[in-house]
Chains A and B, each alone.
Chain A
Amino acid sequence: MLKAENLLYSYDNGVKKVDTVLDNLNLNIKKGEFVAVLGHNGCGKSTLAKHFNGLLLPLGGDVYVQGINTKDEEMLWTIRRQVGMVFQNPDNQIVANVVEEDVAFAPENLGIPSAEIRKRVDDALKTVDMYRYRKHAPHLLSGGQKQRVAIAGAIAMRPECIVMDEPTAMLDPMGRAEVMETILKLKAQENMTVVLITHYMDEAAMADRVVVMDDGHIVVDDTPRNVFSQVELLKSLGLDVPQVTELAYSLNKEGFDVNYDVLTVTECADAIMDYVRSIKSGN
């Protein structure tokens, strides 16, 4: 679905060449996968995201979307139609004064007949659970609602894949939960390929696969469970692990044999209770 081969990129601010942002990066994302991308600020994750719909073009190597090279100018619009993007700040992505007009913006620009647009807009708003707000003014919605409208705008293009660059960074816990629920639904019901860039480890823990970037490279690429068990590595990269993982790990390091392969509260509680039982039976 999305493929980066030996991808190389650096920004040039016109005065001096800055450091290489993406350095010979290889990544292959399959149809229907939910991939979380982690990394501290400046590690190149947003730069990578912008390559997936041709907003940026590789300086070296290639990026393919459904087998189409993003360097193929004639296919650029086909690529953009297949990869929807959602960014951090919902206020910067909303263009219309009415929710449903905003969602209709992209399909209108694709020149789709109006009956079809109507259907797509309604479907998209229902998918993100914002249908009853279709006549509302976007600026009066909460952050989580605005971000769901932005997602509806992306999926109204009927893309194969949706790339989200920190869509929850500006939201409160409730708004974050709404957006995450929407992402999981898109994956389950529409088999949408989702690339989620995030700083929140609990969100990454919900993905099928976690890619950790540092300094333009991919450092780890594995299931959330295998990634988060590498507590020391993640910390050294300026990243967190879920608190329960960190707790179980630190207990382990102090010589208490608690299983630290845990991602959720329940798993951690189970591990601690198991350990307590093992002590008691040893007594």
Chain B
Amino acid sequence: MAIKIENLDYVYMQGSPFEKKALDNINIEIKDGEFVGLIGHTGSGKSTLVQHLNGLLKPHSGHVFINEHETTEKGEKLKKLRCDVGLVFQYPEHQLFEETVYKDIAYGPTNLGLPKEEIDIRVRDAARCVGLPPEVLDKSPFDLSGGQKRRVAIAGVIAMKPSVLVLDEPTAGLDPAGREEILSQIKSIYDEGNMTVILVSHSMEDVARLVNRLIVMNEGKVFADGTVDEVFSRGRELRNIGLNVPQVNVLIDELVARGLNINPNIYTVENAKNELIEYFKRIKEGGENA
């Protein structure tokens, strides 16, 4: 079991007029090797939740366990936990600071006190993982494009060899091509099979294609938790809590409402195309009544 969250509560600015219950009785278990999408609009508590995963925030009540260790542990054990869970924050490229890409990626492993050879292996491996060509390693990170900077930042976390990789809004602010690139890179990192991946996003379209499981947060609670199909079948409810269901899913809903006999659980353009082609063929053969 990679992650176990039990009855987790968290309150911001407790005792002040601005007191806000950010997390309200959260119970989640995530197994090794899962690829989970965590979705919710701004203020739903998803960033607060991921900050509990490596002990940046401690529960006000309840428990968070990472690989059987509780996040309230201190000293060496907490350090170990922070190595286990790699957190990539929003706009991680703002955290780059070193003279070269190589040094930036090496920063974490160097602080672990690893031997030089091991650091070198990790840096090159992490760079390959995120699709950075070797010649970039000697450049200043500040001379790179936005998408490349972001990949350097992600590589810095991967070089720590975490068993759980958490990415908070990794595609924010990128253009469609950049989004596509980062997402397929994350997918291939997951496919290498060494990590549990949690992808935090408010874009259902991005996440739906990749993950095996979706957790939807709303007002500090888990609103839905299941396979992509299970969660999307509650499309109208999701829209009511301010999430944008893929446009094509709204279209399919509309077509079903207008009387087409098609599968309502469709959220990619590709699947919608195939489903409609099947339907067109059926009615061409006269299989469907008018």
On A, residues with C-beta under 8 Å from B are 40-42, 88, 140, 142-143, 166, 169-175, 199, 202, 238-240, 242-244, 246-247, 250-251, 254, 256, 265-266, 268-269, 272-273, 275-276, 279-280, 283
Contact = CB atoms under 8 A, between A and B. Distances in A.
B269 A238 contact: no
Interface stretch (B52-60, B100-108, B219-227, B250-258): B250-258
Contacts, number: 101
A247 B273 contact: yes
The 7 A-B residue pairs whose C-beta atoms are closest, nearest first, are A238-B177, A173-B244, A243-B247, A172-B42, A243-B248, A172-B202, A269-B254
Given A88-B173, A279-B284, A283-B286, A244 B260 contact: no
A280 B258 CA distance: 15
B109 to A, nearest CB: 30
A58 B175 CA distance: 26
B251 A268 contact: yes
B251 A279 contact: no
A91 to B, nearest CB: 11
B39 to A, nearest CB: 10
Given A166-B173, A276-B283, A173 B251 contact: no
Nearest to B169: A170
B247 A251 contact: no
Interface string B229-263: 00000000000001110111011001100101000
Interface residues of B, number: 38
A146 B273 CA distance: 39
A170 B172 contact: yes
Contacts of A265: 247, 250-251, 254
Interface of B: 18, 41-43, 145-147, 172-178, 202, 205, 242-244, 246-248, 250-251, 254-255, 258, 260, 269, 272-273, 276-277, 280, 283-284, 286, 290
A93 B173 CA distance: 17
B145 A41 contact: yes
A275 B280 contact: yes
A268 B172 CA distance: 28
B248 A244 contact: yes
A242 B146 CA distance: 24
B273 A41 contact: no
B276 A280 contact: no
Contacts of A174: 41-42, 242
A201 to B, nearest CB: 8
A167 B250 CA distance: 25
Contacts of A42: 145
A130 B43 CA distance: 19
A48 to B, nearest CB: 15
Contacts of B260: 272-273, 276
B175 A175 contact: no
Contact of A269 (B18, B172, B202, B258): B258
